[in-house]
Homo-oligomer: A and B are copies of this chain.
Amino acid sequence: MNSFGELFRLTTFGESHGAAIGGVIDGMPAGMAIDTVAVQQELDRRRPGQSDIVTQRNESDRVEFLSGIYEGTSTGTPIGFIIRNADQRSNDYENMRHTWRPSHADMTYTLKYGHRDHRGGGRASARETAARVVAGALAKQILLKKGITVHAYTSRVGDIAVPLPYSALPLNDINSNPVRCPHAETANKMMELIRKVKGSGDTIGGTIQCVITGTPAGLGEPIFDKLQARLAAAMLSLPAAKGFDYGCGFDGCGELGSASIDELEPSPEGDRPRSVTNHSGGIQGGISNGEDIYFRVAFKPVATLLRPVQTVTDQLQSVTLQARGRHDPCVLPRAVPVVEAMAAMVIADALLLNQTTHLL
């Protein structure tokens, strides 16, 4: 289904090569000053064509708000918005009308729905994530009011990984390079690798790290809507995402309990309990504990190669497919703002839900 969230709720629509994509944000708290410029800036971070290591599709991606904001302030009514599609070149996809691209959604959409919009992936295109960025940018404005920040960055491309933990990195430098890695030396190596891979008509995957700071204790709704469950669902709903872990994650599962327990101490100010370490990743029992929340998302390499691949037609004939179109050699740089958007929506929703824990 095409809605996400309980109280801060995004519903999206739109295909890669239709007239427009867009959405409706229901549950934006009333009375908030809305910074539409900041929304456009987030969209620009996701926009194609912004550097040589991403797709060259040329979309200005201008968001038009249609409702829910009056005289610069949220009214409490739903915020509708659209982003017109412009540079479509649908003809690039004409040869795929009856041929399924391997490892894409082409075949599964056909098998499920009976037919499909083959142009540029249709609904399955990562283009739909632009609508998420709009909603995420509004969610960030909620978080800003509460002193919560969300930073994602490319932590690994292929076998090149940032050698330091997030706490040792200048998170404000994430946007200082096209690959969105705050460790300059690693960023350069990543970009070099991506250019090399691109040159050979290939693609490459990696991981994005995300850090949420300033979260109050109490967010998350056990049992089934634990904060990590919501974050995991958010991240695995992204195109090309293959995994999610948080806190000590997969690596920590090889450890002993005595090595991974977070002992407690009073905070220096003596006003709250504090975790001495943070293997828990800021969440215990599905509820935030006030420490940093951090998690990783794995992204597979893009399945569109600029080299021949073996596949079948919808008549089950074997064919060789040579992709055309414009594609990302590596989705990570453009996925960074999308990861942040989804994380921000999850936290904004959890904030609102937590306002109902007690009768006020």
- Contact mask for chain A residues 20-42; partner B; CB cutoff 8 A; 1 contact, 0 none: 11111011011110000000000
**Contact in complex: B232, A22 (CB < 8 Å):** no
Pairwise interchain contact A312-B19, C-beta atoms closer than 8 A = no
Q: How far in angstroms is the closest Cβ of chain B from A135?
A: 11
Copies in the complex: 4
Cβ 8 A contact of A289, one of B4, B32, B111: B111
Q: How far is the CA of A264 from the CA of B128 in the complex (A)?
A: 26
Known pairs A1-B224, A258-B307; A253 contacts B206 (CB<8 A): yes
Question: What is the bound-complex CA distance between A301 and B6, given in angstroms?
Answer: 32
Q: How far is the CB of A237 from chain B (nearest CB, A)?
A: 4
Interface residues of A in 271-305 (CB under 8 A from B): 271-273, 275-276, 279-281, 283-290, 296, 298-305
Question: Contact at A13–B117, with CB atoms within 8 Å?
Answer: no
> A66 and B289 in contact (CB under 8 A), knowing A230-B233, A312-B266?
no
Binds B, one of A47-55, A164-172, A183-191, A241-249: A241-249
Please state if B29 and A100 are interface contacts (CB–CB under 8 Å).
no
Question: A223 and B256 in contact (CB under 8 A), knowing A248-B300, A288-B108?
Answer: no
Mark out the residues of chain A between 299 and 323 whose CB falls within 8 Å of any chain B CB in the assembled complex.
299-305, 307, 309-312, 316-318
Q: Judge if A192 is at the interface, Cβ distance under 8 Å.
A: no
A32 surroundings in chain B (CB, below 8 A): 359
Given A23-B24, A301-B255, A312-B265, do A30 and B115 touch, yes or no (CB 8 Å)?
yes
